[in-house]
Amino acid sequence: MPLLPPELLQRLAALTIRSRRRGSGVRAGERRSRRRGQSQEFADHRPYVPGDDLRFLDWHLYGRLDALWVKLFEEEEDRVVQVLLDCSASMKGEKLDYARKLGAALAYVSLGRTDRVAVAGLSDKLAHYSPPRRGRGAAKAVFQTLELVTPAGETKLASALEQFPRQRGTGIALLFTDFLYPEGPDVVLKRLLARGNEIHAFHIVAPVEIRPKLEGDFVLVDAESGAELAVTLDEAVLERYQATVLAWADEMETTCRRLGVGYTRVLTSVPIEDVVFRDLRRQGVVGR
């Protein structure tokens, strides 16, 4: 079964990943730098698609070929969109499945707008890696890497990032994670920021993590450490648990905002298309 249905891919083709920074990227025919004095050199053409900036149409080529082509320009920097999946054991099941699909959606958007896309699966090591690729023709390889990402190991993303190759040019790191880090989120986020990346974190949450459908006596087992905790769950305990989880999630968001990191909390029960076309457009993460 494909990660994303063809009809969703068709809708995604009209979007672009937006940067919060001024002047990010290359290929100015699609994403012009606003930095003054930066040189731009012609690099290539590609077929026009609805929504492209009409200022960059090559009318001379149109006269010869009777077809619309857009000029592409090289700038001093290249933009790499890094799709980083937390694949530690705590992500097992619907959280990692959801992260794969949302990561695939945003990777596909990026591949259509001349960004290069790299993919990594991170746990206590660099478990999976796909080097930067450009163009819609690379979507198959990118999707295959995402499909291969499997949950295993402890959450040591900061250590795993040391094995992740530094990317040339400007970078946007899209981090898909449950934020269940023993050391807290600061270390991981600061490690990414130190590479000069713009970061957007997608906090993947399964509804059962907020409000388990359980009552009675249970032994809870940590998915990564194996530590056990005997608990008795009733309505009052579940109410306190839910309040604690939501307060913790708010703390993760506050930490991200404090560090200048974008944050989106995503419930796995929400359709991917709603997240992309409603939530992320509202936040300005994607646009046309």
Instruction: Looking at the structure, tell me whether residues 275 and 172 fall in a common domain.
Output: yes
Alpha carbons within 13 A on the beta-carbon side of 60? 2
The Cα 235–Cα 240 span in angstroms is 9
The Cα 283–Cα 143 span in angstroms is 25
pLDDT averages per 10-residue partition of the chain, 288 residues: 90 89 42 41 63 75 79 64 94 96 97 89 89 92 94 84 80 94 87 90 95 81 80 86 94 94 96 96 89
Q: Are 95 and 202 contacting, i.e. CB atoms less than 8 angstroms apart?
A: no
Task: Let me know if residue 235 belongs to a domain.
Answer: no
Place of tokens 């009552």: 215
Instruction: Looking at the structure, tell me whether residues 86 and 191 fall in a common domain.
Output: yes
Query: What is the extent of the structural domain holding 92?
Result: 79-209+245-287
CATH code, 142 = 3.40.50.410
Alpha carbons within 13 A on the beta-carbon side of 284? 4
The Cα 190–Cα 282 span in angstroms is 26
Q: Is the pTM of the predicted complex or chain greater than 0.85?
A: no
Q: Count Cβ atoms within 10 A of the Cβ of residue 108 and give its class: 0-12 exposed, 13-18 middle, 19 or more buried.
A: buried
Instruction: Looking at the structure, tell me whether residues 56 and 175 fall in a common domain.
Output: no
Instruction: Looking at the structure, tell me whether residues 49 and 84 fall in a common domain.
Output: no
Tell how far CA 37 is from the center of its chain. Answer: 31
Instruction: Looking at the structure, tell me whether residues 49 and 102 fall in a common domain.
Output: no
Copy the structure tokens of residue 245. Answer: 């989880």
pLDDT at 39: 44
pLDDT at 265: 97
The Cα 200–Cα 261 span in angstroms is 6
Q: Spell out where 26-148 has E strands.
A: 41-47, 69-74, 79-86, 116-122, 126-134
Q: How many domains does the chain have?
A: 2
Domain boundary among 74, 99, 130: 74
Alpha-helical regions (H) of 115-215: 139-148, 157-161, 186-193, 207-210
The Cα 176–Cα 206 span in angstroms is 13
Please list, in sequence order, all residues whose beta carbon lies within 8 angstroms of the beta carbon of residue 121, skipping any fewer than 6 positions away: 85, 87, 127, 128, 129, 148, 149, 150
Instruction: Looking at the structure, tell me whether residues 99 and 190 fall in a common domain.
Output: yes
Instruction: Looking at the structure, tell me whether residues 61 and 85 fall in a common domain.
Output: no
Instruction: Looking at the structure, tell me whether residues 57 and 137 fall in a common domain.
Output: no
Q: Are 128 and 157 contacting, i.e. CB atoms less than 8 angstroms apart?
A: no
Q: What are phi and psi of 182, to 5 degrees?
A: -55, -35
